[in-house]
Amino acid sequence: MKNDRRTFIKHAAAAGAFTAAGFPHIWSKNASLAYAQSGQIKVGVLFSLTGTTAIIEESLNKATIMAIEEINAAGGINGLKIVPVVEDPASDPATFAEKARKLVLSDKCVSVFGSYTSASRKAVLPVFERQANLFFYPTLYEGRECSKNVIYTGAVPNQQQDDFVPWLVEKFGKRWYMIGSNYIYPKEENNYCKKLLKSLGAEVIAEEYVPLGHSEFSSVINKFRSEKPNVIFSTVVGDSVVALHRQYRAAGLDPATMPMASLTTSENEVAAMGGDAAAGHFTSAPYFMVHESPENRRFVEAYRKRWGADKVTHFVSESSYFQVHLFKQAVAKLKAGDINPLTIREALKGEQFQAPQGLVKVEPENLHCWLHPKIGQCQSDGQFKILKQSANWLEPNPYSAYPNQKCTAEGLKEI
């Protein structure tokens, strides 16, 4: 009976190809038949390989491809081979949207892994929501989003800051200087940080934003000198991070008394600025390359074997890697005929995976991940030394700075 109905729809769809091409969204719900065909399942891989953020997105592309190859080498998902469709959105949000549309509509990918910046995520969001498809987003981000078509595997502010901020206050002191790049991510992180600092009785002596791509920090450094903060909370991103660290060091400031605390400085950024400039500063992240676990040893070894012995892994490449495995586990729970983006989403709820950072889980309410925050101090060899690991995994709360809003399975709720 069920099969008959399917065959009928298939024929109807073929007959109505004219109409279908014009109104693809009408058919998208019935397209599930096509998702697992002839032993293959197609997924999109959408990371910039050219343009300004290619530097970092290339490593995310590599981690994703490696995970897919691993799964295929181990027999695929219940015999289904994952076929990646790789597109290059060229670091441009409009191209991101266009390529996402192509992956979902014409390639009929069942899910897409991709994007690094918040701007590109916001650009592809409408595509996945309108087409009822599923997007896997690996980057740490500012939270305040509650889409039912995105699986967020990076950290949100509460996961990076809940351990980090009190630890820094206790160790260094209560006068905080906030410096960030001028866009939404640093502002939202600072919103949450200010809330934490207030509850700890600490004070924010300055909150300052520099233009994206800014590379001259001498006036900012003069202010560090005159204000003498205990902690510099830095949410500066991109090549500005490099300039800030190198100029901080050239100015002769001392990380032992005035450390920079960052949420974005990973092994990747440290490689770009040199270990000497980064040494002594702190980063909070769910993953560092030096983390001791059998899973991470395997991950780093496989990554270097596949892509080059000089390559580093970092917290966004790690989540790019484990989110493919989460996808695999969810699909494995489904019958081939039932595979479609929405059944995969339902199967992902509560799904767990032993990732390089530790055991992670998809929170059924908000589709973000339970992660293991760690505090690392950068060493002059370019690696981090892990000083503190949270005892338990930490629940994601994308609305941590907004106590009267909560992301639930039914959508955003006002409390």
Partner 1 sequence: MDFVVSQLLTGLSLSSILLLVALGLAIIYGVTGVINLAHGEFVMLGAYCAWLLQTQLGWGLLPSLIPIFVAVALLGLAVEYLVIRHLYDRPLDTILATWGLGVMAQQIVRLLAGGELRYVQMPAALSGSVNILGATDSAYRLFVLAVALGLFALTWYVYRHTSIGLQLRAITQNRQIASSFGINAGRAYRLTFAYGAGIAGLAGALISPLKSVSPEMGTGYVVDAFMVVVVGGVQSLFGTVVSSGLLGELTGALAYLSNDTIAKALVLAAVVVIIRFRPQGLFTPRIRA
Binding-site ranges for partner 1 (CB under 8 A): 52, 54-55, 58, 182, 208-211, 213-216, 218-220, 222-223, 225-226, 239, 242-243, 246-247, 249-252, 271-274, 276-277
State the minimum distance, in angstroms, from the CB of residue 209 to partner 1: 6
Closest listed residue to residue 189, CA positions, set 214, 168, 210, 162: 162
Closest approach of partner 1 to the CB of residue 218, in Å: 4
Comparison of 53 and 153: residue with beta carbon closer to partner 1: 53
Least distance to partner 1 from the beta carbon of 250, Å? 4
Nearest to 46 by CA among 61, 26, 35: 61
- Per DSSP, helices labelled H in 183-292 are 184-199, 218-227, 239-250, 267-273, 275-278
Nearer to partner 1, 73 or 256 (CB): 256
**Shortest distance, CB of residue 276 to partner 1, whole angstroms?**
8
Nearer to partner 1, 383 or 405 (CB): 383
Q: What is the C-alpha to C-alpha distance for residues 31 and 9, in angstroms, rounded to an integer?
A: 9
Burial of residue 20, with CB atoms counted within 10 A of its CB: 0-12 exposed, 13-18 middle, 19 or more buried: middle
**CA of 222: how far to CAs of 28, 32, 75, 96, 216, in Å?**
57, 60, 59, 40, 12
User: 185 vs 322, which CB is nearer to partner 1?
Assistant: 185
Cβ-based nearer residue to partner 1, 177 or 370:
177
Tell me how far, at minimum, the Cβ of 217 lies from partner 1, in Å: 8
Q: 81 or 223, CB closer to partner 1?
A: 223
Can you state the angle between helices 93-101 and 118-130, rounded to 10 degrees? 30
- Phi, psi dihedrals of residue 185, rounded to the nearest 5°: -60, -55
Per the CB < 8 A criterion, the answer to whether 295 and 355 are in contact is yes
Contacts of 67 (CB under 8 A, 6+ apart): 320, 321, 322, 324, 325
Burial class (CB in 10 A: 0-12, 13-18, 19+), 201: exposed
- For residue 92, the minimal CB distance to partner 1 (Å) is 14
Tell how far CA 119 is from the center of its chain. Answer: 13
Minimal distance, residue 243 CB to partner 1, in Å: 5
Q: Structure tokens of 270? A: 């440290």
Whether 385 contacts 299, CB under 8 Å: no
78 vs 383 by CB, closer to partner 1: 383
Tell the smallest beta-carbon distance from residue 280 to partner 1 (Å).
15
Residue among 69 and 239 whose Cβ is closer to partner 1: 239
> 151, 362 in Cβ contact below 8 A?
yes
Smallest distance from partner 1 to CB 85, Å: 23
| Nearer CB in complex with partner 1: 252/294 | 252
> What's the token pair of residue 5?
């109905």
Residue 255: count of CB within 10 angstroms of its CB: 18
